Structure 1
Amino acid sequence: MKKILMPILVAGALVLPAACGSAKPAANDTPTTQAVVTLTQADFAPKVLAAMLAKGTFHAVSVSDDEGDKETYTADVKLSAAGSELSGSSDGTGEDALSVIRAGGQTYAKSPHLSEDKAKPWMKFDPKTTDPQEMLKGALIRLAQMQFATHDLVGGAAHTTAFSSAPAGEATVYTMTIDLPKAAAANALGAYMTADLATGLKGKTLPVKMTVDKDLLLTKIELEDDGAKVVSTFSKYGDPVTIAAPAAAEIA
């Protein structure tokens, strides 16, 4: 596994009838188009998250390139006021095979590193366990979850040491450096990085580029961490998504 994470209202064009009654636009009437909105550091996370929440679902594809070793992580995500659920898998095979499900507030992962029992391939994340072996598996599940949760980095915009924006056609690219200890301690990074990990991240920052379209929907995240480059793309907003926990009989 790799080391690496309200829509704007549009005013419709007014079409005025000509004096003769035909439905021709007036000569001086031009269709209105939606202006690209440039967000500030303070309103970036609230407005982008609100736009994504309004759609409710999206599809994410993350490609991780760790010094030429590439792997793709694909997930369907469902958002609600209570948090996010997802179902994702990697394109890895054998020892590199990985699947993650987050449903009902619980995270499950499937990997040969976690369970070799083909009848019970899924492991349930237990953050309260004190068993050393289970704690190690829990750390692997946390790492696995990060691969499918780069969208949660949006919340880190409020905790950056640098923040700028540049237009890109009908989209805007935001370049920021997230202070990971502060963002994680504030519970701003969701499943990507939790508050209990913040104590071990002193001084750690993460340079990130996020592309947001004219509807304030996240379309791309680009980041690099410890030599690993990750590019995540987001699409299919609002498409139906079904997410269910693994069957109890399949959980080790």
Structure 2
Amino acid sequence: MKRTIVTALALSGALALGACGSTTADTGTGSKAGTSQEAPAAAVKVGDTVDLAELATKSSAAVKDKGSAHMTMDLGAEGKAEADVDYSGTSPKMAMTMTVSGEKLDLVYVDKVMYMGGASFAQMAGGKKWIKIDPNGKDQMSQMMGPMLGQMESSMSNPAEQLKGFEGAKATVKSIEGGNTTYTVKLTKEQLAAAVKKQAAGVPGLTEESLKQMPDGMTYDLTFDKDQLPLTMSMDVSGQALKMTYSKWGEPVSIKAPAASEVGTFELPTS
């Protein structure tokens, strides 16, 4: 059960991929982001190289302007997931459904608290549909898993912001089709290690230990639409293929915490 919970939290952070310092998106910021998109971007062609941080800055503004998105992730044998994310407040909100080790799980993240639902949780929480992981909670689950929520929230904030964590990285235009541009980003082990050390990259499976096992660095393929909004992100981490797809930018989402009567807590078994 503990492994399932850890995997679920890791997947939820990865799906909303991005690690940024500030999640604030007030009306003024949204207005500026919208204005920044009015100026046409400089034309690029296949083979051109651009600064990854500059690309991330433009995309981050577009994401903040939209405020919400739908996302899916395919992590092969590790599971699949899809979610709605609301970026518009000071803290992101997320509602996710995923499959981990063959079991369907539901996750809701609201007001910095994670709610997890599934058959296994109901059995161990007195029949309640949901368990609660609160970074300020006193129960064993919150004490054990709560510290992960801060890093996971930073991974939800804005999918473009994560790219700023890789200092000096470049993106090469791989293809241009129908207004969508795909870039390839090759990161060295040194760049990855620096980002992981300062927790600037919420990449699933990417830790200081896993970096030691990598013979080389890592390659991303990133696709953005004409407005610089992320469409897809694919990579290979230690032989594990990962692909994320973003859609429905700016469409209304309604994400609420479960009713208190449906939420329980439980103590993890000691063996």
| TM-score with structure 2 setting the length | 0.63
| Distance change in 2, residues 1:180/1:101 (3 Å) | farther
> How far apart are the structure 2 equivalents of 1:227 and 1:198?
14
| Distance change in 2, residues 1:123/1:42 (3 Å) | same
| Structure 1 portions without partners, runs of 5+ | 12-33
What is aligned with 2:133?
125
Identity, % of aligned positions: 23
Q: What amino acid sits opposite 1:250 in the alignment?
A: E
What is aligned with 1:89?
97
Q: Give the counterpart of 2:108 among 88, 101, 111.
A: 101
Shift of 1:50: 1.1
| Distance change in 2, residues 1:200/1:122 (3 Å) | farther
Shift of 1:114: 4.6
Shift of 1:112: 4.5
Shift of 1:102: 1.3
| Distance change in 2, residues 1:110/1:173 (3 Å) | same
Structure 2 residue 251 is matched with structure 1 residue 214:
no
| Distance change in 2, residues 1:57/1:150 (3 Å) | closer
What is aligned with 1:51?
62
Show CA shifts across 1:14-57 (max 9, x none). xxxxxxxxxxxxxxxxxxxx765685222222221110110111
| Distance change in 2, residues 1:226/1:109 (3 Å) | farther
What is aligned with 1:224?
236
| Distance change in 2, residues 1:102/1:184 (3 Å) | farther
Shift of 1:156: 3.2
> How far apart are the structure 2 equivalents of 1:134 and 1:91?
22
Q: Give the counterpart of 2:182 among 145, 153, 173.
A: 173
What is aligned with 2:82?
74
> How far apart are the structure 2 equivalents of 1:158 and 1:238?
25
- Determine if contact 1:62/1:230 at 8 Å carries over to the other structure: yes
| Structure 2 portions without partners, runs of 5+ | 15-32, 265-271
> How far apart are the structure 2 equivalents of 1:225 and 1:128?
33
Shift of 1:228: 2.4
Question: Which stretches of structure 1, 4 residues or more, deviate above 6 A after TM superposition?
Answer: 129-132, 197-202
Q: What amino acid sits opposite 2:226 in the alignment?
A: K
- Determine if contact 1:181/1:202 at 8 Å carries over to the other structure: yes
Q: Give the counterpart of 1:182 among 190, 194, 202.
A: 194
Larger radius of gyration: 1
Shift of 1:160: 5.2
> How far apart are the structure 2 equivalents of 1:150 and 1:228?
24
Task: Please report the RMSD computed on the Cα atoms of aligned residues, expressed in angstroms.
Answer: 3.9
> How far apart are the structure 1 equivalents of 2:94 and 2:66?
15
Shift of 1:164: 2.1
| Distance change in 2, residues 1:131/1:161 (3 Å) | farther
| Distance change in 2, residues 1:236/1:184 (3 Å) | same
| Distance change in 2, residues 1:36/1:209 (3 Å) | same
> How far apart are the structure 1 equivalents of 2:210 and 2:135?
19
3-state SS of paired residue (2:234): strand
Q: What count of residue pairs does the alignment treat as equivalent?
A: 218
